[in-house]
């Protein structure tokens, strides 16, 4: 029942504080769920309270690294999913003094269906995304380990800057600290894995994996 206890923490029945390496402290508490049952939709869409907490911790890490940072542009699918709850062909723009916007080329409709992120906008190309955060900057931070050079060159055509810096270490530090929500997901995944390995039995006409899920 460990996963249910973790869900009680995340859901607000038993608020919990967690800390990251950037000095940010979050106390997650929400009245969303009044009982110990894990709602099915919460297992498919990352809850908005979780997305907000992740974004706040990312901003805190950016501040700790460089208090004068101006804009973060995230292209990597893993980082996109972590901060928005969906991974699409697009760019997540996070201005230091403004709200984050996820500009999606393909597919915006799917992104809106999958994610509770508050600001998802369609774009045909970076030209469409440029007005979201207008102006020029000294430095733009991007996840340099996953961005192809050609894509970065096209991006800088519409987002001019003197220098590109990496945000890879900041993103990794934020993702390394697991929230109660994430720990509950991991516990549930481990329980399913255990059932498949230890309890799943072949059933006539039904695959072993289907038999476990149909219980």
HEC sequence for 109-160: HHHHHHCCCCCEEECCCHHHHHHHCCCCEEEEEECCCCCCHHHHHHHHHHCC
Instruction: Please calculate the CA angle 84-89-92 and round it to the nearest 5 degrees.
Output: 40
Question: What does the pLDDT look like over 198-214, one tens digit per residue?
Answer: 876 655 555 555 555 55
**Rounded Cα–Cα distance for residues 110 and 88 (Å):** 8
Contact 98, 133 (CB under 8 A): yes
Residues 49-83: tens digit of each pLDDT? 999 999 999 999 999 999 999 999 999 999 999 99
How far is residue 201's CA from residue 118's CA, in Å, rounded to a whole number? 43
CA distances (Å), origin 82, targets 39, 55, 68, 76, 191:
20, 9, 24, 10, 23
Among candidate residues 66, 74, 72, 50, the one with its CA nearest the CA of residue 178: 50
- Residue of 113 and 198 predicted with greater confidence: 113
Per-residue pLDDT, 39: 45
Average pLDDT over residues 90-103: 97
Cα–Cα distance for residue pair 131/128, rounded to 1 Å: 7
Rounded distance, CA 160 to CA 177, Å? 33
Q: Residue written as tokens 């060159």? A: 153
pTM for the whole structure: 0.75
- Domains of the chain plus CATH, in order, are 1-44+178-215 (no CATH), 66-171 (3.40.350.10)
């Amino acid at each position: 029942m460990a996963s249910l206890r973790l869900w009680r923490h995340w859901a607000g029945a038993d608020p919990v504080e967690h800390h990251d390496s950037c000095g940010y402290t979050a106390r997650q508490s929400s009245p969303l769920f009044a009982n110990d049952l894990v709602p099915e939709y919460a297992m498919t869409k990352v809850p908005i309270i979780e997305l907000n907490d992740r974004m706040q911790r990312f901003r805190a890490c950016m501040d700790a690294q460089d208090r004068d940072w101006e804009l973060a542009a995230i292209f990597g699918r893993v980082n996109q999913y972590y901060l928005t709850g969906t991974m699409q062909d697009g760019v997540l723009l996070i201005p230091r003094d403004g709200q984050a916007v996820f500009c999606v080329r393909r597919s915006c409709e799917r992104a809106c269906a999958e994610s509770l992120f508050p600001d998802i906008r369609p774009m045909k190309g970076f030209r469409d995304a440029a007005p979201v955060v207008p102006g020029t900057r000294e430095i733009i931070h991007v996840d340099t380990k996953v961005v192809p050079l050609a894509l970065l060159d096209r991006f800088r055509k519409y987002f001019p800057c003197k220098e590109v810096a990496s945000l890879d270490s900041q993103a990794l530090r934020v993702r390394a600290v697991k929230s109660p929500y994430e720990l509950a997901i991991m516990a549930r995944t481990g329980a399913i894995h255990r059932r498949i390995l230890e309890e799943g039995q072949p059933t006539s006409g039904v695959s072993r994996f289907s038999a476990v899920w149909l219980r």
